Chain A
């Protein structure tokens, strides 16, 4: 007798109002395998997984776990059926310790004291078995995202999960952290656990999954054995057309220096020096890429240039004019546009409707207002144009921004900043959590900006992205610029610099 598949979904259907997020989904996942799920932004991947985890309820359809049909009414039932989930946006209590987060909901009795000792022991065991090391007494908000994610995995394993769902786990990780995660996932699989992995990175799919399913516009369009498919085929299945997986661009035609940073030093709120005596120039008509492992001062550098954080010392010049310490509104007037690294904290107000976010920061523009009042019709019309041009889905300017999928949220920010036709564009992680079709689109826009003789400063932790877009690359490590390279520098050489080994 062949063992039952770990998961069987039959005819799952789910709508949010007018949005049909999942249409008649069928999916079978074998026990002890890593099953990838890919699809464009808004294809319905997170929705499907949230249904399996009991966070949402399907309108129709059946779920079978180990061959047994079950109704998953809430997360409690899902946990009891051995399903654990690491959400796209972590579900952690930030001012709690790791231990408290792991225990929450599985405390082992009315009093905490009883459970704590057991939980510590179990954490030790999980750490030893899977290489999931985190200090149980650390406070979540003080941990880097990679560690926070481990806490999420520990939460699931602590509850005895046999099926682990990971929703875009590598979006926020450094390459080294991602490698570590994959090692952990392989160990888990080899111990017979079943893993569902959502990702936009086809390379990861090829590297780690056994099977892969493709979703498009709410439908499950194909399932393939990973060994029998190619990146090109998957990309085409996802987007429904051929996708260019490289960036096409001509020679740069750099002009005069537009943005200049001189001996810039920035301290964070705790007084730690995050940017240490950094100098560089960005010319019009070129893309300067800043490579580096996350947390080496790139974020603070971007924030200082964008006027969000006051530099401690040093100069920032736009067109030779000192601008350090000016507020973001003034900088926008000077032609500086900023696509922030973190769309949720800085780029968008999630509770606003799409059209409100589409002009955020530029709402004082006379085009959008009549005196003290906003001209809502003009703003909505403008938003509709951006939606059409950037293919933002669903194409509804009145939808609350929180209800767009991550990639579409990113497109809202990109559209807002690029469509202003700024002189300079500074960009942090332009394609985090964005599907390949949209990546192709956003990359092309960035190159177009360069070709229109704009100065572009690009920060990304994705080495591939930096190498394929930049005309020049500088590498940051521990707050300092440790080297400069050309885009054809080998991955190895750049990697060494990023690790501070040069």
Chain B
């Protein structure tokens, strides 16, 4: 394999590995910009993956699986909202609790329903989202440089991949061009300003969490019924936390979120590629180094080396009416 082929293949897996991060980080973007810290992204993704796999298997339709994933993810979001908005509970505690529930329930239910050690049965045909070959991909393959990039990186992805990239400008547009976005950004900074402007803080935050739920559902469905063809125990494997790191790394802005997710996806792809290979002079590099890099980079950012990250000011604080 020459270097260009390696490059193309790493790029291809970068895309595949970034998609769940992009969906999840955007999900986190909506809740955190509204002032609700969401450590429960991981749990939403996992629960949505499980629900999507089950429903896709039962119905034979990937689309129904997707809807199921979105539904369960919104459900989780609403529980988070009920605990932290309605009852003004601690947002971290509520998020962590949801992560535990997702990790436990998916295994227990999976085993009870399918008896495959927590796995769900494999999906075939229309029960999963399969790659879409864009027009001309085969024809282009032989064109130097551009051809392989087009055929292997741009073409050949499933519909959810394209939706993820479409979700980025859409999120930007919602945040900065709509009334909902303006209010959402305001409530994450100063809920009292929103309240005195005659807008319900709770309802606004709940709506933000619904968006979070929808995007979290896409992330989970991608894992189980697009990237893989079944649900596997703990298949989110910390991606929810990486997405959270990407969100901070991107300073809570949609386009940088996409870039951060691509960067972290790239690191993951490199880690996979390097597995068992040794670099001349250095020898074999432990994959853990690459896996730790997103967190290391985020820490460096938080320490103030890459500009300053200003989180939404009211983040994590339940809104109580008082002066």
Contact = CB atoms under 8 A, between A and B. Distances in A.
Interface string B8-46: 000000000000000000000000000000000000000
Nearest to B310: A95
B198 A107 contact: no
B198 A105 contact: yes
B193 A91 contact: yes
B189 A93 contact: yes
A76 interface: yes
Contacts of A155: 197
A94 interface: yes
B198 A112 contact: no
Nearest to B322: A402
Contacts of B178: 110-112
Interface SS of chain B: helix
Contacts of B194: 104-105
Interface string A96-121: 10001101111101111101000000
B321 A104 contact: no
Given A87-B323, A95-B313, A100-B186, 8 more contacts: A53-B196, A55-B321, A79-B197, A80-B198, A94-B313, A104-B193, A104-B197, A110-B179
Contacts of B233: none
Contacts of B183: 104-105
A95 B192 CA distance: 14
B182 interface: yes
A79 B198 contact: yes
**A: contact size bracket:** 35 or more
A105 B199 contact: yes
Contacts of B180: 110
B189 A78 contact: no
Interface in A37-79: 46, 50, 53, 55-56, 74-79
Interface string B300-323: 000000000010010000000111
Contacts of A115: 179
Contacts of B176: 112
B179 A74 contact: no
A111 B181 CA distance: 9
Contacts of B310: 95
B177 interface: yes
Contact of B321 (A56, A103, A105): A56
5 tightest CB-CB pairs across the interface, nearest first? A105-B197, A76-B198, A107-B179, A91-B193, A75-B198
10 contacts: A56-B321, A75-B197, A85-B196, A100-B182, A105-B198, A105-B199, A112-B179, A112-B181, A112-B182, A402-B323
Interface string A145-164: 00000000001000000000
A89 interface: yes
Contacts of A104: 182-183, 186, 193-194, 197, 199
A334 B192 CA distance: 41
B90 to A, nearest CB: 15
Contacts of B193: 91-93, 101, 104
A46 B198 contact: no
Contact of B196 (A46, A75, A100): A75
Contacts of B322: 402-403
A288 to B, nearest CB: 34
A105 B192 CA distance: 12
A74 B194 CA distance: 12
Contacts of A85: 196
A96 B189 contact: yes
Contacts of B195: 55, 75, 91
A115 to B, nearest CB: 8
Contacts of B198: 74-80, 105
